[in-house]
Amino acid sequence: MRQRWLPDASGESPASFMMPPEPGGFLNGDCMISSVSKEKFEDYEGFVEKFKPKKTTDDCMTPENIYDCVADYVAKRYGLSRESFVRPFWPGGDYQAFDYPDGGCVVVDNPPFSILAKILDFYEATGRDYFLFAPSLTGLSLTARHKTTFICVGALVTYDNGAEVRTSFVTSMEPDVIMRTDPELYREIDAVNTANIKANVAELPKYIYPDHIITGALAQKYSLRGIDFIVPRASAVFVRRLDSQAGTDKSIFGGGLLLSDKAAADKAAADKAAADKAAADKAAADKAATIYWPLSDRERELVDGLT
């Protein structure tokens, strides 16, 4: 064990003392590191993670082409000019102090979702029209105390901070409608978002082999779905690539078996059985996870009073 030298009470002469090891500790150079300290030290990824900015719906910077898609839709549907649109929401901005122009401007923007109810309070109090991005799962609750229309689109949008959010909208410009869907807007946003993803992520190729080829990746799905499948040795030969892959840098990952006609027919039947079993398993899982909540007599009376 190494000795550490510390000054004595007078500060003039060193006093020798031995650092006893902590239970479960070990010496590293001149430093004593306990097992607890070692665990904390080695949890580097957890330490770094604390300092990474969290992706929240309040920090979602909207891709310009997504905004343009929504703005063009609003202009077309409501017969408006985009010159009348204002965007008062940005990091550090104050939407209440924003200089809204006179003459019927419309707020078309992506606000912080955490204060969306407060934002609607302000626009209703000031009589200002809006078409705002909103969370798909909880946006409907805004209709409980606001005269707003929830447009449930549910389009997945990848924002500039990397957050992926199912996005819908609320608007003041359809006062007689409390909620509606919009397949057209969904398709338009989805097309733009898909293009954005493809522009930023390399798309990996997908390979499809004929029934006469079986690989480990394909065969393991049979075991998962409870399908017995046997290939007699006389009915197959191992191959690393097909002749059609010659001249390329592609091959069958992990190799495969070239099957006889009969074995290929058996494989096709196994594929169908596995697909049917997967569909049945999913249906059973969905049913088991579903809870039906019926209406009460009081709620039925409310329904009877609605038009």
> Using one digit for the tens of pLDDT, what is the confidence trace for 207-262?
899 999 999 999 999 999 999 999 999 999 999 999 999 999 999 999 999 999 99
More confident residue, 213 or 55: 213
| Residue 243 phi, psi dihedral angles, 5° rounding | -60, -30
Residues 110 and 151 reside in one and the same domain: yes
Burial (0-12, 13-18, 19+ Cβ within 10 Å), 211? middle
Residues 27 and 148 reside in one and the same domain: no
Residue 249 placed within a domain:
yes
Burial (0-12, 13-18, 19+ Cβ within 10 Å), 277? middle
- What mean pLDDT is predicted for residues 106-114? 95
- What mean pLDDT is predicted for residues 84-96? 93
- Sign of the four-CA dihedral 128, 119, 169, 65: positive
The average confidence (pLDDT) of the chain is: 85
Q: What is the pLDDT of residues 137-182, one digit of tens each?
A: 999 999 999 999 999 999 999 998 888 999 999 999 999 999 999 9
More confident residue, 51 or 176: 176
* In the predicted structure, residue 191 carries a pLDDT above the cut 70: yes
Residue 93 placed within a domain:
yes
* In the predicted structure, residue 26 carries a pLDDT above the cut 80: no
Buried-state track 122-135, b at ≥16 Cβ within 10 A, e below 16: ebeeeebbbbbbbb
Q: What is the pLDDT of residues 70-84, one digit of tens each?
A: 999 999 999 999 999
Neighbours of 25 (CB within 10 A): 16
Burial (0-12, 13-18, 19+ Cβ within 10 Å), 214? buried
State the pLDDT at residue 32.
Answer: 47
> What percent of the chain shows pLDDT beyond 90?
72
* In the predicted structure, residue 16 carries a pLDDT above the cut 90: no
Q: What is the pLDDT of residues 123-139, one digit of tens each?
A: 999 999 999 999 999 99
Residue 269 host element (H or E): helix 261-288
The contacts of residue 232 (CB under 8 Å, 6+ apart) are: 263
Residue 11's domain comprises: 3-49
* C-alpha span between 103 and 80 (Å, rounded): 13
* In the predicted structure, residue 59 carries a pLDDT above the cut 70: no
Residues 113 and 160 reside in one and the same domain: yes
Whether residue 163 contacts residue 135, with contact meaning beta carbons closer than 8 Å, is answered with no
Residues 101 and 153 reside in one and the same domain: yes
Residues 192 and 249 reside in one and the same domain: no
Residue 75 placed within a domain:
yes
Residue 97 placed within a domain:
yes
Per-residue tokens: 59: 């920090």
DSSP E strands: which ranges in the chain?
3-7, 14-18, 26-28, 31-33, 85-86, 106-109, 129-135, 149-158, 164-171, 179-181, 213-215, 236-239, 256-259
Residues 71 and 91 reside in one and the same domain: yes
Residues 106 and 190 reside in one and the same domain: yes
* In the predicted structure, residue 302 carries a pLDDT above the cut 90: yes
State the pLDDT at residue 17.
Answer: 40
Residues 88 and 180 reside in one and the same domain: yes
* In the predicted structure, residue 119 carries a pLDDT above the cut 70: yes
Residues 110 and 149 reside in one and the same domain: yes
For residue 280, CA distances in Å to 225, 226, 275 come to 10, 12, 9
Q: Of 161, 176, 200, which one is at a domain's C-terminal end? A: 200
User: Which pLDDT band holds residue 3 (cuts at 50, 70, 90)?
Assistant: very low
More confident residue, 1 or 160: 160
Domain count, the chain: 3
Residue 66 placed within a domain:
yes
Q: Of 200, 232, 265, which one is at a domain's C-terminal end? A: 200
Residues 44 and 62 reside in one and the same domain: no
- What mean pLDDT is predicted for residues 270-287? 94
- What mean pLDDT is predicted for residues 277-282? 94
Residue 205 placed within a domain:
no
State the pLDDT at residue 201.
Answer: 79
Instruction: Please state the pTM of the whole predicted model.
Output: 0.65
* C-alpha span between 172 and 67 (Å, rounded): 18
- What mean pLDDT is predicted for residues 178-188? 97
Residue 111 placed within a domain:
yes
Q: Of 179, 200, 221, which one is at a domain's C-terminal end? A: 200
Whether residue 23 contacts residue 17, with contact meaning beta carbons closer than 8 Å, is answered with no
Residues 191 and 222 reside in one and the same domain: no
State the pLDDT at residue 22.
Answer: 47
- Sign of the four-CA dihedral 142, 144, 148, 152: positive
Residues 154 and 70 reside in one and the same domain: yes
Nearest to 119 by CA among 93, 154, 152, 101: 93
Domain containing 106 — which CATH number? 3.40.50
CA-based Rg of the chain, rounded to a whole angstrom? Answer: 32
State the pLDDT at residue 47.
Answer: 55
Per-residue tokens: 143: 């209709």
State the pLDDT at residue 77.
Answer: 97
Residue 236 placed within a domain:
yes
Neighbours of 240 (CB within 10 A): 11
